[in-house]
């Protein structure tokens, strides 16, 4: 295997492609253009909302495949490639549990928009980083007119220690992922970034050996298992570093673009 085989590249966004200020490096777009010239498919695979990803990658939105909401919603040029919703009754039960946990704010991640029932400023500041379209409602249990792609908790006390233990018992029937220091994501059992990658690999006839992936947290785990060239960021959770085959510099050191540049330089030298 060599870099010349790579036909599909997927990267997580926060903690991976974006720096700690949630910014895209100015060196990304030139590298992206060269990847497109090489015929390489690029996937933004994130827990973020689809509409937020469109805004983040606005200048190339028609050239990127989006695997949003941790792979629950895969879209290219407004065409839905894959959707894996979670049933409303399950979400209602998750909401009821969330209401018993201190310092947590539940979010229903709908296909149309996100739904929250708190306007607490600190929470809304975090929400706006990842959700472009959202509505504050009186009662989340009354939200019915949408497909639910994911249930998320913003846990200001720390998701791994505070809220995750309340949902850990559901891991046999649902995807329960600590996706960041204050984020816990719960999805359909068949909804994760790895499933999204498998859908895309099948659609485009791309193999494990022809796939490169980047990630930093637990919601990237299955995706990292779908490509031979699997990279954990230097800032990744220690357990994710154990899964990845290779290591990239941290997101504040532009680690993803550095690997992409190495790939592009290698292709040039190989003719």
Task: Give 223-271 as a DSSP string.
Answer: HHTT-SEEEEETTS-HHHHHH-SEEE--GGGTHHHHHHHHHHHHHHHT-
pTM over 0.85: yes
- C-beta separation of 159 from 126 below 8 A: no
Report pLDDT for 188.
96
pLDDT at 28: 97
Predicted local confidence at residue 219, as pLDDT: 94
Give pLDDT, residue 1.
58
For residue 3, what pLDDT is reported?
77
What's the token pair of residue 217? Answer: 């947290």
Residues in the chain: 271
Q: What pLDDT score does 271 carry?
A: 57
**Residue ranges of domains in the chain, CATH in brackets:** 3-83+191-269 (3.40.50.1000), 88-188 (3.30.1240.10)
Cα 161 to Cα 26: distance, rounded to the nearest angstrom: 36
Q: Which residues of the chain have pLDDT under 70?
A: 1, 271
């Amino acid at each position: 295997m060599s870099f010349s085989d790579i036909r599909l590249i997927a990267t997580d966004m926060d903690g991976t492609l974006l720096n700690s200020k949630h910014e895209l490096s100015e060196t990304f777009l030139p590298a992206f253009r060269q990847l497109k010239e090489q015929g390489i498919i690029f996937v933004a695979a994130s827990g973020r909302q689809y509409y937020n990803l469109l805004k983040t990658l606005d200048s190339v939105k028609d050239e990127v495949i989006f695997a949003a909401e941790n792979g629950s919603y895969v879209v290219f040029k407004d065409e839905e490639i894959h959707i894996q919703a979670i049933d409303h009754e399950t979400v209602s039960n998750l909401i009821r549990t969330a209401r018993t946990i201190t310092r947590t704010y539940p979010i229903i991640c709908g296909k149309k928009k996100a739904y929250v029932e708190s306007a607490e400023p600190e929470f809304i500041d975090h929400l706006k980083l990842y959700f472009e379209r959202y509505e504050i409602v009186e009662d989340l249990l009354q939200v019915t007119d949408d497909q639910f792609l994911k249930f998320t908790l913003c846990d200001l006390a720390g998701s791994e220690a505070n809220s995750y233990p309340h949902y850990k018992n559901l891991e046999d029937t649902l995807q329960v992922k600590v996706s960041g220091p204050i984020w816990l994501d719960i999805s359909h059992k068949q909804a994760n970034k790895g499933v999204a990658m498998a859908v895309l690999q099948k659609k485009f006839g791309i193999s494990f050996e022809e796939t490169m992936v980047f990630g930093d947290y637990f919601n990237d785990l299955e995706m990292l298992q779908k490509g031979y060239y699997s990279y954990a960021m230097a800032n990744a959770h220690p357990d994710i570093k154990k899964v990845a085959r290779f290591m990239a510099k941290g997101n504040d050191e532009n680690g993803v673009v550095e690997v992409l540049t190495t790939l592009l330089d290698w292709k040039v030298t190989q003719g």
